[in-house]
Each structure stands twice: as C-alpha cells, then as structure tokens.
C-alpha cells in the first residue's frame, strides 16, 4: 500500500505540473509495479479488453481503449476536441486536490507517504524480506480491525 501511495503522490505531482502527461500513451504512474506485481499487468490487460454493447444490442465497443484513444486524439472539430482545454484544467485541479489531501497530516494517507516522512512509509520496510513486510502489514490491519470493533 505504501509503495502505491508514493507512486500516486508522485504521479499527482507530475500531473499538477503538466496535466497533458495524462494523455501521453507512455505515461504510467504504476509502471514500477509491473515488474514486481504481475497482477497489475493482468488487471490492465483485462480492463482494456472490457466491452460494452451499443444501443443496437449487438455491436461491442472496447470502452477503455476507445475512450482513451478519443481523449488522446479527439476527432477534429468534435465536442471532444473543444473540451480538451477544460479537461486539462480539470486534471490539474484534481491532481492539486489529491496532493492537498495526501499531504494533510490529519488524514491517514500522510502517514504512509515517504515524502511526508510518515510513520508507516515504505522506507521502513526497505531492506527486509518482502514476506516479513507483508506479514507485518497484515498484522497491523488485523489490530486496526480489532480496535474498530
């Protein structure tokens, strides 16, 4: 979780600085996970293969693939092309809000961020075998669940 939180935080920083990066097909905030967590690669592949039926009930559309393609290269003269500047403003605003929330020490996420020197940040787990770190995280979650009732 901590590694993912750091990746999201770093990604939001990049998007706040340059929201058009999100439209770059090579931009991937979770690229570092692909080598260590094969489920990420599989999830992405499955997601890109998801289809929806058109109104005719027969024609299938690859929803994520088609939406991303249109967002990255909108049809000339279309409403999508006209909406691109507003979309970039929204990406920037959402990234800035995410950063603000992630940096807020009153929220639990700040405690998991390396950039915020959080008590539970990933740097405390480095150098230890992954299984030990996983076991400790599971034990911590169980303790929290018991505390909550």
Every domain of the chain and the residues it spans = 2-122
**What is residue 142's predicted lDDT score, i.e. its pLDDT?**
79
Q: Above pLDDT 90, what percent of the chain? A: 43
Q: Is 149 buried (19+), middle (13-18) or exposed (0-12) by CB count in 10 A?
A: exposed
| pLDDT tens-place string over residues 68-121 | 999 999 999 999 999 999 999 999 999 999 998 888 877 766 666 666 666 666
Calpha distance 24→103 (Å, rounded)? 26
**What is residue 127's predicted lDDT score, i.e. its pLDDT?**
43
Calpha distance 90→64 (Å, rounded)? 19
Q: What is the mean pLDDT of the chain?
A: 83
> What is the pTM for the complete model shown?
0.65
90 or 149, which is more confident: 90
Q: Residue 143: which pLDDT band, with cuts at 50, 70 and 90? A: confident
Calpha distance 42→110 (Å, rounded)? 29
**What is residue 74's predicted lDDT score, i.e. its pLDDT?**
93
Q: What does the pLDDT average to over 116-144?
A: 63
Q: Name the CA dihedral angle for 54, 58, 64, 68, rounded to a multiple of 10 degrees.
A: -60
| pLDDT tens-place string over residues 18-42 | 999 999 988 988 888 887 888 888 8
């Amino acid at each position: 979780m901590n590694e993912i939180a750091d990746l999201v935080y770093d990604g939001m920083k990049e998007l706040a600085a340059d929201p058009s990066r999100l439209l770059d097909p090579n931009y991937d905030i979770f690229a570092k996970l692909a080598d260590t967590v094969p489920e990420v690669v599989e999830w992405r592949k499955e997601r890109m293969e998801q289809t929806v039926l058109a109104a005719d009930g027969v024609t299938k559309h690859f929803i994520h693939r088609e939406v991303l393609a249109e967002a990255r290269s909108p049809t000339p003269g279309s409403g999508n092309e006209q909406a691109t500047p507003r979309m970039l403003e929204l990406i920037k605003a959402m990234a800035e809000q995410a950063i603000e929330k992630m940096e807020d020490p009153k929220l639990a996420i700040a405690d998991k961020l390396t950039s915020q020197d959080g008590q539970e940040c990933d740097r405390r787990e480095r150098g230890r075998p992954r299984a030990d770190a996983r076991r400790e995280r599971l034990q911590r979650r169980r303790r929290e669940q018991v505390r909550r009732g």
